[in-house]
A and B are shown apart, each in its own frame.
Chain A
């Protein structure tokens, strides 16, 4: 069945480096994808809406230059955490609306665990 994949599943990086996370829709096209982050024991927080062919829409308080989003194709959106710092350590998850359901249901990716040392 249709799923959403993320790569990598987990990543450990040094402070100051940049990390790219990929979100792919499999077997369906997604003109829109959503990016979230979750701190341990807390709820998911919407970061931005990724739009194929146009700029992402960021939620209030999310730094656009810090979290670069590129929706390069109808099946791929990437989130790049630039100049990562320990406070960026979090669980990042993407989702994509299921286009054929006629309703607003989504598939969620398995998430990416980022640890910045």
Chain B
């Protein structure tokens, strides 16, 4: 089900710049996850951040979570052309094990 919202829907930046994508959701959650999808391929898991965490890093990726605002952001630093993909956030709601996905942000990194 599509329960979250990402913005922007599309983002185009120059290689080397940072890219920030945001995700908002509506209910209380156990965790929030970010995924990446390359053209024509399935989702690949990037980072999972739990509801009691506020920030998490993985390589060039930085994810923040603000449960009071029900929002999360994904920052990709020093972007590369290979980062061009769609990025989705997904939330696991409290009391459920189902994942609810946003509609995705299409990132284009121009070499």
Question: A interface vs B, CB < 8 Å?
Answer: 32, 34, 36, 38, 40-46, 49, 59, 91, 93, 95, 97, 103-111, 113
Contacts and interface: CB of A to CB of B under 8 A. Distances in A.
Nearest to A103: B106
What is the interface residue range for chain B against chain A?
20 to 34
A41 B37 contact: no
A41 B92 contact: yes
Given A103-B86, A105-B104, A111-B98, A43 B33 contact: yes
Main secondary structure of the interface of B (DSSP, over half): strand
Contacts of B10: 103
A52 B31 CA distance: 34
Contact of B1 (A40, A41, A45, A110): A110
Contacts of B41: 49
B9 to A, nearest CB: 8
Interface of B: 1-2, 10, 30-31, 33, 35, 37-45, 48, 85-86, 88, 90, 92, 97-99, 101, 103-104, 106
A49 to B, nearest CB: 6
